[in-house]
Amino acid sequence: MYEILLLVSAIGAGFLGALLGLGGGIIVVPVLTLLYHVNIRYAIAASLISIVATSSGAAASYLKDSLTNLRLAVFLEIGTVSGAIVGFLISAYIKPQFLFLLFGVFLFFSALMMLRKREEHYSTQNHPWASRLKLDSAMPDGSGGWVDYKVEHVPLGLFAMFGAGILSALLGIGSGIFKVLAMDGAMKLPIKVSSATSNFMIGVTASASAGAYLLKGDVRPEIAAPVAVGIIIGSFIGAKVMMKMPAHRIRQIFVVVLSIVSIQMIIKGLK
């Protein structure tokens, strides 16, 4: 019965997470800790396992559509994997109360970012590192043609990825919102390229973190298995619904949900 409840809750988390491309981890960790009183470290480990599974399927689709900048993703993974390793190493010294507070603040920040209007832009100037490493590329324009784009502020993007990797390991999330913000805002990539490249990177970052938690013994099969299956099912349904639901309505729902959950996580951390 317990596993069935976890499966149903994970389906809901995956559904909500897929609506805005944030992944189910950002919802499932609060659900496991607040509703089922699961140890937050076990919840984080289960979330990371599910992120690897859901990211792999979506990443394959984006690669097929030529939206993922693979060369840039591999380069930026230097920062995210390094951050994930650092995050795992320091997680043993961080009290659960602080993790609740950090997660609550992250959720509130995510809610604020939902309100930000994104405008499509294409950079016309390469950073020297981007030119040397050939990080610029082109994306399909939807009408059979291709649009070239450049990559700016590569060192800043790499530093942001290091921070995203730390958060991924500490909180059991793909930290996709920080990856997208870094590539979209700092590196001036088109939003579709940012989202697709971020999705590819999320799986790699989560794999590094999940492997470390597995070695530590924090991956509990009775929790991780139903959560992973549920998030995969929920993400699939959410992706279908997202195509039919107005974007502004999705944002309104998520801002409310994230705000409520973030306050609850912060209160639990303070207690």
> What confidence tier does 215 reach under pLDDT thresholds 50, 70, 90?
confident
pLDDT confidence tier of residue 99, bands split at 50, 70 and 90: confident
Q: 242-265 burial string, b = 16+ CB within 10 Å, else e?
A: eeeeeeeebbeebbebbbebbebb
- How far is the C-alpha of 266 from the C-alpha of 98, rounded, in Å? 9
What does the pLDDT look like over 150-209, one tens digit per residue? Answer: 888 899 989 989 988 887 777 766 667 778 778 877 888 887 788 778 878 877 777 777
Taking a C-beta distance cutoff of 8 angstroms, is the pair 82, 165 a contact?
A: yes
Burial annotation 159-179 (CB, 10 A radius, 16+ → b, else e): ebbbbbbbbbbbbbbbbbbbb
What's the rounded Cα separation, in Å, for the pair 224 and 220?
Answer: 6
The total of other beta-carbon atoms located within 10 Å of residue 237's CB is 15
Instruction: Give the SS3 label for residue 246.
Output: coil
